[in-house]
Amino acid sequence: MVKSFSDLMSGKETFLFSKWPVEVHRRPFRRSVSIYLYPNKPIKVMASKSTSQKMIVDFLMVKKDWIEKTFDKFSEIAEKFPEKKIKAYEDFPFLGKDRKLKVVITLHKKPFVSVTDDHLLLHIPRNEWSANSLIEEHPTALKEIRHFYKREAVNFLNERLTFWSEQMNLRPSQVKYREQRTRWGSCSSKGIINLNWRLIVFPQEIIDYVIVHELAHLQHMDHSNRFWSLVERYIENYKDIMKSLKESQYLVEFLSENQ
């Protein structure tokens, strides 16, 4: 069940547990054992330097059913939201609408991305253009795609935040745009609102809900009935939107630097 091996060149401590590779990351003052699961990656174990491999394996055994279910869920998600390839005619979501990637030539010296009603346009400089540009993948263009989405997100989210701030008469002390894996927004006790710029892939109604949700925290720093009543005053169908966001949250994964 467990086969150990070491990677002397990298210094990693790895072994095989059941059918899954495991990477152990040790910290000198850590008191507990924790595991982290990610799609298409080894099980990551955080443990102290004194924790034996047997203790780690015993811990994994206790969590085996959960590990199995989680990796099964990852497989289901991968099937529903397949990895996107940066090539012509691939669909990319933007403001709730799938737009096909169209590769076009440009006289500019650097590649860039723009958008139309139906297409996401990847502009390839003439000096990089080849006979295969229309059929090959362009994995290095992820940088330009991320830059485009973030730029458009900051502009659009700013507009919607200004609109809802006026409607609700609630204004943050500061707004920051971040890239978080599992959170769409947050509001601090100092009135600072953080918004996940990858929201730009979703329809406006989802974006509006997240903004109203965070603005409502300026008045109620909890999820009390008063808080939800305030949200519902402006977004009557917020429960349906929350469900839609949860079901479509993995649409943003193509924007991750390390897919």
Whether 128 and 39 map to the same domain: the answer is no
Count of the separate structural domains present in the chain: 3
Q: Read off the DSSP letter of residue 248.
A: H
199 within some domain: yes
> Is residue 249 assigned to a domain?
yes
Answer with the one of 80, 99, 116 that is the final residue of a domain: 80
CB 188 within 8 A of CB 178: no
Does residue 14 sit in the same domain as residue 103? no
In a shared domain, residues 159 and 249:
yes
For the CA atoms of the chain, what is the radius of gyration? 23
C-alpha to C-alpha distance for 49 and 47, rounded to whole angstroms: 7
User: Do 35 and 122 reside in the same domain of the chain?
Assistant: no
Whole-angstrom Cα distance, residue 239 to residue 245? 10
**To the nearest 10°, the Cα dihedral for 239, 190, 182, 225?**
-20
pTM above 0.85, yes or no: no
- Four-CA torsion 94, 95, 96, 97, nearest 10 degrees: -50
Asked which of 80, 102, 123 is the last residue of a domain, the reply is 80
For residue 106, tell me if it sits in a domain. Answer: yes
> Angle at the Cα of 236 (from 230 to 238), degrees rounded to 5?
85
Domain match, 103 and 185 both: no
75: containing domain: 2-80
For helices 204-216 and 142-168, angle between their N-to-C axes, nearest 10 degrees: 50
Work out whether strand 119-125 and strand 112-115 pair parallel, antiparallel, or are unpaired: antiparallel
Judge if 53 and 96 occupy the same domain: no
Shared domain check, 107 and 26: no
Same domain, 158 and 240: yes
**70 plus 120 within the same structural domain:** no
For residues 161 and 247, membership in a common domain is answered with yes
CATH number for 173: 3.30.2010.10
| Inside any domain, residue 86 | no
Tens of pLDDT, residues 29-73: 888 899 998 877 899 999 998 899 899 999 999 999 999 998 888
pLDDT in tens, the chain (259 residues): 444 544 434 457 899 998 999 999 998 888 889 999 887 789 999 999 889 989 999 999 999 999 999 888 888 877 777 788 999 999 999 999 999 999 999 999 999 999 999 999 999 999 888 888 888 999 889 999 999 999 999 999 999 999 999 999 999 999 999 998 779 999 999 999 999 999 999 999 999 999 999 999 999 999 999 999 999 999 999 999 999 999 888 889 899 875 4
